[in-house]
Amino acid sequence: MRDRLAQMGANVDDLRIASGAPDGFTDDSLLLIEQLRSLEAGEFSLTANSLEFASDAQDFDVYDSVSANLAQIDRAEREINFDLPTIEPFFFAVKKRKWCADGRGVRAA
């Protein structure tokens, strides 16, 4: 795992690796790291029984991709705080005119 993390550009100087990890733990850890790499900021904690993940998606494509990958990680306890992206600026405007070509006089944008 240390080598794969270093290849991803992670600083592994203080990383201590132990034996006895449950099946799939390394793959799940690396999958979570890949998700963080696609996000502007975030964090996760993973144990044999639990997954905690927190971040905000910067767009809907990233949200869909990360959500699909998080669904692949099976843990009895899951706390996922991953919000949909916020659309900014968010606005709605309506104009009513006395005379309009379509005869209805209302235009929404």
- What are the tens digits of pLDDT across the range 17-30? 777 888 899 899 99
Identify the pLDDT of residue 99.
62
Is 70 exceeded by the pLDDT of residue 105? no
Distance CA 2, CA 90 (A): 44
Instruction: Return phi, psi of residue 75, to 5°.
Output: -140, 145
Q: For the whole model, what pTM was predicted? A: 0.72
Two tokens at 64?
């869909």
Q: Residue 40's closest CA among 55, 53, 52?
A: 55
| Domain residue ranges of the chain, discontinuous segments joined by + | 2-108
Give 58: exposed, middle or buried? Use CB within 10 Å, 0-12, 13-18, 19+.
middle
Q: What is the pLDDT averaged over residues 57-77? A: 95
Distance CA 102, CA 109 (A): 16
pLDDT grade, residue 98 (50/70/90)?
low
Q: Mean pLDDT of all residues in the chain?
A: 86
pLDDT grade, residue 46 (50/70/90)?
very high
- Stronger pLDDT, 31 or 105, i.e. the higher one: 31
